[in-house]
Every structure is written in C-alpha cells, then in structure tokens.
A = this chain, B = another copy of it.
C-alpha cells in the first residue's frame, strides 16, 4: 500500500527564519511555499532526495497547529506516507479498525490525504497521501 515517505512535517515559529536555517545549515534546496487557508497554516517544502521536509507555521492562533506549537514548541509534527490510491487506503484503514482523524480524504498541499490518530500508531500522527500527478 505504501510506496515511500512523502514528507516529514516540522512545526516552527517563523517560516522565513526556519526555511533559511534549514537551507543554509543542511544545504537543502528551497521548494514550493503555500498558504493553506482551511488548515490555517503556511507551509514550505525543502526537497531531500525523493522525499520532502515540510515546515509548517500557524497563521491563526486558534488552529490545531497553533495549539500544538504553544503546548509542545517547535519540532516534528507528523510524517506523511505516500499511497497509490487514497480511497483504497482509507477503506483498508476503516476495515482494520484504525483510529482515523478524517473519515473522508481532505485536500492537502500535494494531493488528497487523511490522517491516522496518534493513539492508534504509538504516538505518531501519520498522514496517508495520494500525491497529485507532477
């Protein structure tokens, strides 16, 4: 079902500062940047081989990401595993009784996705993503 690690998402206080830091320190190229109004976040990608590092920062004080940042500080927020077919993956997760955050696929920056609750995955927020064709 899973074809690769699509991205690792890191919550940060300031997107500009962190993007520049990751770019300069690790030499990673700076990729796409996007405001995700529905999730109340701004994100930026740094490609790392065939995967991505995703930096996320809240753009409101009420978003889930804002609360996470206030409570836990900067750090890894979730991992995203790529699947070929998000509908099939969701059906399979439901059949297995997985604890889901989304009952239907949501629109993510890079395709359609849904999240598994950390309670069912030993503490890890996992996104399963069907990436849009490039």
Contacts and interface: CB of A to CB of B under 8 A. Distances in A.
A121 interface: yes
A77 to B, nearest CB: 9
A4 B81 contact: no
Interface residues of A, number: 41
Interface stretch (A35-43, A68-76, A104-112): A68-76
Contacts of A96: 24-25
B123 A5 contact: no
Interface in A1-60: 1-5, 8, 10-13, 18, 21-22, 24-28, 48-51
A10 B122 contact: yes
Nearest to A82: B49
A64 interface: no
A123 to B, nearest CB: 3
B49 A3 contact: yes
Contacts of A27: 1-2, 92
A77 B10 CA distance: 13
